[in-house]
Homo-oligomer: A and B are copies of this chain.
């Protein structure tokens, strides 16, 4: 704690956020929600989002948008929220002790899509920004969870985000891709949630690559083999998050277009419902955003909008050898270098 405090006390001024940082990020997060909802409605071709605006008694509020029983999407939830309060929950203070004793501000947009067709992957996106006393940081990412996977889709998703990363820092993609594999890991299943994507947290420009807490995952991230990043200003990080946000529709849209008309039957639907159980397990047992929301007395219905509309659990299920279901487990639920597969 002493070390952390001394770091923040000697923060050079170019690491400080601009005075209108909160307003700018909040506006960006709302625009991101708008753009994504518009893009998804177009992609769906039938479903429409409905919005609920809500206020949080302790400070702040948000707007939750949900599409149900669309043409493509069985359920699509896109949330914007902006909250503040006296202190961050202890789970975050443990990571950012400099925020202790300070009020906090947090804003973010998050999204989970559950398509009807088991050949169309589920996808998640979240970007967020925090300020608390002497510290601020960006976090977020996007990750893809196929049921019946295609290497081509995983490669397209990854290389789209790699392009966005490469424009900002040559090491971002390698580091944030690994972080994603590590973060979206179900330890009790020894599986990744899907084929990954990007994930980062605690990006405050001071060159720390990694301040995660998850015990599993690639050793390289823990041991800093990837090296520290060159310092980044608030403006540079904000521009990076903007570009990540804009990369989502180009990363996901073409996959939907390729897969949405594929024929499927009970077998594929049952497997999809079963695999959706993993999504529930991840979000309720491990997910930092879900836990933050529940701990800060967030709006439960908005937080749990990520949960699938219909889910199955089946005791001791294992896929038959040499089936597409087995291929998911054997090849796609283990970290792979998908971006290179594209080129």
* A residues neighboring B (CB under 8 Å): 52, 64, 66, 68, 75, 77, 187-189, 273, 277, 280-281, 284-285, 294, 300-301, 303-305, 307-316
B313–A312 CB distance below 8 A: no
Task: Among B66, B285, B312, point to the contact of A294 (Cβ < 8 A).
Answer: B285
In the complex, how many angstroms separate the beta carbon of A109 from the nearest chain B beta carbon?
17
| CA–CA, A75 and B66, complex, Å | 32
CA distance A5 to B241 in the complex (A): 52
8 Å CB contact of A284 from B187, B285, B308, B312: B285
A311 to B276, CA, bound (A): 11
Name the residue of chain B whose CB is nearest to the CB of A282: B284
Cβ of A52 to closest chain B Cβ, rounded Å: 7
For the complex, what is the distance from the CA of A294 to the CA of B284, rounded to whole Å?
Answer: 13
Task: Give CA–CA (A160, B280) in the complex, Å.
Answer: 35
Closest 6 pairs (CB-CB, A-B): A284-B284, A307-B313, A188-B300, A311-B311, A301-B316, A188-B294
12 contacts between A and B (CB under 8 A): A52-B316, A66-B315, A68-B315, A187-B294, A188-B303, A273-B310, A280-B280, A280-B284, A281-B284, A301-B316, A308-B313, A310-B312
- Report yes or no: A310 in contact with B307, Cβ–Cβ below 8 A: no
With contacts A281-B284, A284-B281, A284-B285 known, is A315 near B294, CB below 8 A? no
Is A301 touching B315 in the complex (CB atoms < 8 A)? yes
Complex CA gap A305/B315 in Å reads 6
Q: How long is the Cα–Cα vector from A77 to B316 in the complex, in angstroms?
A: 12
Within the complex, the shortest CB–CB distance from A221 to chain B, in Å, comes to: 22
CB-CB under 8 A from A52, the residues of chain B are 316
Report how far A307 CA is from B309 CA in the complex, Å.
16
